[in-house]
Chain A
Amino acid sequence: MTGYVIRRLVQSVIVLIGVSILVFAIVHLVPGDPIRLALGTRGTEETYQAMRERAGLDEPLVVQYFQWIGSALTGDLGVSFRTGQPVANMISERVPATLSLAAAAIVVALLIAVPLGTLSALKPRSPVDWFATVSSQAGLSIPDFWMGIMFILLFAGTLGWLPSGGYVGFTEDPVQWARHLIMPAVTAGVASGSIMTRFVRSSVLEALGQDYVRTARAKGMRARDVMTWHVLRNALVPLVTVGGVQLAYLLSGVVIVEIVFAWPGLGQMALQAVEARDYSLLQGTVLLFAVIFLVVNLVVDLLYAKLDPRISYEQGAAR
């Protein structure tokens, strides 16, 4: 078990190095001069040169890479060209908003997917199943900006129940935090929920047809217990993988939802960094996204092995 975790961590580090090189290369090969953009029409040639030097942009790319990665290891991701603030601070300021939104959205997604997927698997070709199919199709095809705007018009405008956007920290005011979170979480969660509904449906359907479910029924177990311990428990195994992918996606920023609800998350910041050619900010954010993906993946694999005893740590990730 420990050996497996160590092996996976080493793998992750190697992947991370690769990703960092890739991120660095892409950011630096994209045309556009960040200093000119930051200066705009102000500033003389001298200020321009001075800023280039200070940002280390005069050095060869290889040197720049090692400088960046070296300080990144100490937690220093450089300074944003645009705001002059340390990138690490800018990122950590946004983490609570992103975490809140991702966690709430995955809860919404699960609250949609597990009951709806299970019900439609229990009664295939019934009205419930039909409803699940149609609504998950709709959930996937309705653009999230449109859904977000409709929510705002209805719940913030007409009904006036919820604030139309913005973020309040949990520590500042938990009630306001929750009120601000509801609409963006539902908007972001619906798409993930729709994907997961289909998944839950097919894995529950598969579990239902297994011989061991028949064995459980033949024991005289209550239908509810058979459902929980034999059908859902087994359907959960593949769901963990899909849920992990969705969570990683939500964590790495649901840009459009963040924009619609003026949500100060990482996705929005990454977008601004691209627009401003803010190299250091962009590199830092993308690197963080890579770390998120790797961590979520590792957790999913560990959870997977925990849920399915047939997967042994010794064989490594069998999938």
Chain B
Amino acid sequence: MTEPVLSVRDLNVGFRTSRGLAHVVNGISYDVQPGETLAIVGESGSGKSVGTLALLGLLPPGVAKVSGSAVFAGEELIGRSEEKLRPIRGAGIGMVFQDPMTSLNPVLTVGRQIVEAVRAHGPMPKAAARARAEELLAEVGIPDPRSRADAFPHQLSGGMRQRVMIAIALAGDPKVLIADEATTALDVTVQAQIIELIGRLQSEHSTGVIWITHDLGVVAGIADHVLVMYAGRCVEEGSVDELFDRPVHPYTRGLLGSMPLVDDPRPARERDPLSTMPGLPPDPVRLPPGCSFYPRCTIRADERCRTEVPPLVPIAGSSDRHRAATFYAPEGV
């Protein structure tokens, strides 16, 4: 196996709130290999976005408390100063944000916002940067990029804005691309185009991709490795085949049990199985002492589950990258 381009170990994020520290990300670890796609899935609020924002120091300072380690290309990111993170932002790790409505500045043209990303990492003449911005717009499938570059965000559709976000993330030629619900706002055809585009760029530049999504259909189609998050913890991870064929954790099994057919015509949001499972995730300020999934668990819930956090351990009979955090792995999976 090659050297991972990004290696996250025991990442924790807490938010100082009026009610106490909210434990939003609790000991997440993963590796991203060059050219590989890691999918992170989990229901809303499970800490997927926060966990990736923490890598680039993009959480509100003073409110967020981040610990653990994240090594990118041999350099530790956690605890690094703003000025030292700057060269990594955009050029090392690019990020496509979840909400394209609010993530673009309403008073600047989209062309300008892409140019900023192009010029952030070294001097480049204005005209060349502008040409590069138009090229990027064309690459993400925006027709007539020359005139679209002069549009303001409110003049573009949601799908167009999402593509602009992707163009911005690609502008710095990142080694790792974090795509946070990058295709959620798009219709199926556009979604397929974007997935194809990122796949192509990924194989050309061997970019490592972290794909955050609710859409298990997409995960099955594009991911190499999958990490399932619940209440800020990783409850199961494995290769996409292992996870879909032999899910071990009751949460994963629940997700997949209600997984729709891949060609379900309804938009991803409506058929989101992660939020249709009965019950609610625990309050991050008062995490239960045992397994976070215990209150919702249908398979087996006993005293040990209630009082002890099950460690993430390799599954017998699977590869050692297939691991789950449950005391009750079903026999003979």
Question: Do B107 and A237 have beta carbons less than 8 Å apart?
Answer: yes
Chain B residues within 8 Å of chain A by Cβ, number: 34
Question: Do B106 and A308 have beta carbons less than 8 Å apart?
Answer: yes
Chain A residues within 8 Å of chain B by Cβ, number: 24
B171 within 8 A of A: yes
Binary flags per residue of A231-264, CB closer than 8 Å to B gives 1, else 0: 0011001000000000000000000000000000
Q: Which residues of B contact A47 (CB under 8 A)?
A: none
A75 to chain B, nearest CB (A): 41
Q: Which residues of B contact A209 (CB under 8 A)?
A: 60
Question: Do B58 and A218 have beta carbons less than 8 Å apart?
Answer: yes
The verdict on A220 contacting B86 (CB below 8 Å), with A211-B97, A310-B152, A310-B154 known, is yes
The verdict on A308 contacting B87 (CB below 8 Å), with A216-B116, A218-B58, A221-B120 known, is no
The verdict on A214 contacting B97 (CB below 8 Å), with A308-B106, A309-B154 known, is yes
Residue of B nearest to A225 (CB): B116
Question: Do B90 and A229 have beta carbons less than 8 Å apart?
Answer: no
B156 to chain A, nearest CB (A): 12
A319 within 8 A of B: no
Question: Do A211 and B86 have beta carbons less than 8 Å apart?
Answer: no
Q: Which residues of B contact A308 (CB under 8 A)?
A: 106-107
Question: Do B89 and A212 have beta carbons less than 8 Å apart?
Answer: no
Binary flags per residue of A176-220, CB closer than 8 Å to B gives 1, else 0: 000000000000000000000000000000000111101111111
Residue of A nearest to B178 (CB): A218
Question: Do A234 and B90 have beta carbons less than 8 Å apart?
Answer: no
Query: Quick one: which of B209-264 are within 8 Å of A by CB?
Result: none
Q: Which residues of A contact B168 (CB under 8 A)?
A: 215, 219
Residue of B nearest to A209 (CB): B60
Question: Do B102 and A210 have beta carbons less than 8 Å apart?
Answer: yes
Question: Do A230 and B105 have beta carbons less than 8 Å apart?
Answer: yes
The verdict on A218 contacting B90 (CB below 8 Å), with A212-B104, A233-B108, A234-B105 known, is yes
Q: Which residues of A contact B102 (CB under 8 A)?
A: 210-212
Question: Do B106 and A220 have beta carbons less than 8 Å apart?
Answer: no
Q: Please report the C-alpha to C-alpha distance between residue A83 and residue B315 in the assembled complex, in whole angstroms.
A: 102
Q: Please report the C-alpha to C-alpha distance between residue A212 and residue B117 in the assembled complex, in whole angstroms.
A: 13
Query: Quick one: which of A289-318 are within 8 Å of B by CB?
Result: 307-310
Q: Which residues of A contact B108 (CB under 8 A)?
A: 229-230, 233
Question: Do A309 and B152 have beta carbons less than 8 Å apart?
Answer: yes
Residue of B nearest to A312 (CB): B154
Question: Do A218 and B116 have beta carbons less than 8 Å apart?
Answer: no
Q: Please report the C-alpha to C-alpha distance between residue A215 and residue B104 in the assembled complex, in whole angstroms.
A: 7
B169 to chain A, nearest CB (A): 8
Using a CB–CB cutoff of 8 Å, the interface residues on chain A facing chain B are 209-212, 214-223, 225, 229-230, 233-234, 237, 307-310
Nearest 4 interchain pairs by C-beta:
A220-B90, A220-B89, A211-B102, A212-B105
